[in-house]
Amino acid sequence: MNFMMQPWHLLVLSLASWLNREQQQVIEYLQAENRVLREKLGKKRILLSDDQRRRLAVKGKVLGRKLLSDIGTVFSPDTILRWHRELIAWKWDYSKDKPRVRRPRIRAEIVELILWIAKENPTWGADRIQCALSNVGYHIADTTIRSVLKANGIEPVPDRPASMSWQTFLRAHWETIFAVDFTTVEVWMKTGLTTFYVMVVMELKS
């Protein structure tokens, strides 16, 4: 089958050749402009927004490493392709959709109570203070108690001095100190000599 070129074929070829020359001229201009820009910037770091990096990454991925190198882009091909990898990873990262759980701020009266207990009981650590708070209806994590103490300049046990005078001990625990003694008494009963066990408890503040 013989192929006969029609007049419009020549027109299409001429148009295609003109478009190729024009595209090449555009590319050469952009290459020259990029070289001037790189010379002007030197080693200065260019800060881009997320949207700007996204646009360059999408277009750069289509071109590929070789064409990006030929163009002489302001940013290296490795950087542009890395942006594209990060864009893909971000798409599949569902952690950004998870609600952020923040630890509730501890109330001022609880902070004051923690500090009061720590100052009144210099040998108590965070765990012991936690138990004391639990006894009055406050359930606070020991890590939170340590943070409160640290924020207020109180050294944690055992770094705090463990020794105290007897007077300080009595004053700190006077409301809760009891004296306890135990003895036996022999009493004659109808059945014979019987031993009675006696325990005496006295509240010292009384």
Residue-wise pLDDT for 133-159, tens only, equals 888 788 888 888 888 888 888 876 765
Q: What is the pLDDT of residue 12?
A: 54
**Choice between 158 and 30, residue whose per-residue pLDDT is larger:** 30
Burial class of residue 123 (count of CB atoms within 10 Å of its CB; 0-12, 13-18, 19+): middle
Q: What is the pLDDT of residue 103?
A: 58
Q: Which residues does residue 180 pair with via DSSP β-bridges, in sequence order?
A: 201
- 164: confidence class by pLDDT, cuts 50, 70, 90: low
**Choice between 14 and 148, residue whose per-residue pLDDT is larger:** 148
Q: What is the pLDDT of residue 101?
A: 54
pLDDT digits (tens, 9 = 90+) for 86-127: 877 776 665 655 555 565 667 888 888 888 988 888 888 888
